[in-house]
Amino acid sequence: MTEYATIVVETRGRVGWITLNRPEVLNALDTQIMRDVVAAATAFDADEGIGAIVVTGSERAFAAGADIKEMESKTAREMVEDDHFGDWSRFAAVRTPVVAAVSGYALGGGCELAMMCDIILAADTAKFALPELNLGVMPGMGGTQRLIRAVGYAKAADIILTGRRIDAVEAERSGLVSRVVPASDLLEEAGKIADTIASKSLPSVYAAKAALDAAMETPLAEGLRFEKEAFAALFDTEDQKEGMAAFREKRAPEFRNR
Ligand code: CAA
């Protein structure tokens, strides 16, 4: 398995694990960690033995934001020409479902990275914020667009314009996170969610994720058309025949992922 400078990567069964590993800066997201996460996630995505990915940080911090020290001296022109956060769009575009297991700080880019994932599982110690306005900037890794879709305008405006932190309970109540678990159970629970997803037929998982993503982009009628076509296409897979035969025969399906 490839070694990376800023992350630890491992495979457990059909699940690929990416652990952010810049403890000295609370997993601040610099260009190197962006490249490493994108490389690891796209490698897992290309591997048919992988059915789900988990991204996590440390107990203290999922990630405390984009690396402020790396950005501090940049000009507007450099930010645009470098497309400073551009590679993250490749992470957001992986076909494989991604579970973010968040403990401690998920601030700024850390919260935005979690929001690029499909499911956010929060430890009861998790703290979310988009504090970029405190730095004289604004969210720049998707925060203004993804938070509003997750929690609605009222809550998103409150969180972004004040920069205040919300705890795991408020994050769950608001719809930002899927579930909250005790911090000591976070990785085990994230693993269970990922194992469950990875046990299903890959074509159906890819199609369902693509349809969920489409819902974020399209009006209802277009989204429903997308769903109808994606649903129908699955009837040409071996796994659809196997899944439905297994139901009829009252046994567990044995998916072949095609
Ligand atoms: N970038 C660079 N370094 C960071 C960092 C960041 N986002 N967050 C923390 N660090 C560094 C600190 O500078 C410190 O390094 P030194 O020991 O060399 O001083 C180390 O991590 C530990 O941090 P603290 O000493 O500050 O730890 P703390 O427990 O006192 O505070 C914290 C923790 C509240 C998370 C605090 O570190 C903090 O406020 N961090 C910045 C949070 C932030 O503003 N995030 C948004 C960044 S901008 C962004 O993300 C833009 C975007 O839209 C993508």
> 């809550």: which residue's tokens?
155
**Domain boundaries in the chain?**
7-198, 201-249
At 28, the pLDDT band (50, 70, 90 cuts) reads very high
Q: Superfamily for 201-249?
A: Lyase 2-enoyl-coa Hydratase, Chain  A, domain 2 (1.10.12.10)
Task: Compute the distance from residue 142 Cα to the ligand 1 centre, in Å.
Answer: 19
DSSP string covering the chain, please? Answer: ----SSEEEEEETTEEEEEE--GGGTT-B-HHHHHHHHHHHHHHHH-TT--EEEEE--SSEEE--B-HHHHTT--HHHHHHHTTTTTHHHHHT-SS-EEEEE-SEEETHHHHHHHHSSEEEEETT-EEE-GGGGGTS---SSHHHHHHHHH-HHHHHHHHHH---EEHHHHHHHTS-SEEE-GGGHHHHHHHHHHHHHTS-HHHHHHHHHHHHHHHHS-HHHHHHHHHHHHHHGGGSHHHHHHHHHHHTTS-------
- pLDDT digits over 164-191, tens only? 999 999 999 999 999 999 999 999 999 9
Q: Indicate the CATH number of 7-198 among 3.90.480.20, 3.30.1490.190, 3.90.226.10, 2.40.40.20.
A: 3.90.226.10
Residue with the smallest CA separation from ligand 1 atom 44 is 131
Question: Which amino acid residue places its CA nearest to atom 30 of ligand 1?
Answer: 26
- pLDDT category at 140 given cuts 50, 70, 90 is very high
Residue 112 banded pLDDT, cuts 50, 70, 90 = very high
Measuring from each residue's beta carbon to the nearest atom of ligand 1, which residues come in under 6 Å? 25-26, 28, 64-69, 105, 107-109, 112, 131-132, 135, 139-141, 143
Q: Best mutation site among 6, 27, 68, 162 for ligand 1, i.e. most ligand atoms within 8 A of its Cβ?
A: 68
- Atom 19 of ligand 1, nearest CA residue: 25
φ and ψ at 107, to 5 degrees? -110, 145
What's the ipTM?
0.98
Q: In CATH terms, are 7-198 and 201-249 the same topology?
A: no
CA of 133 to the centre of ligand 1 (A): 14
**pLDDT for 258:** 87
**CA 144 / ligand 1 centre spacing (Å):** 20
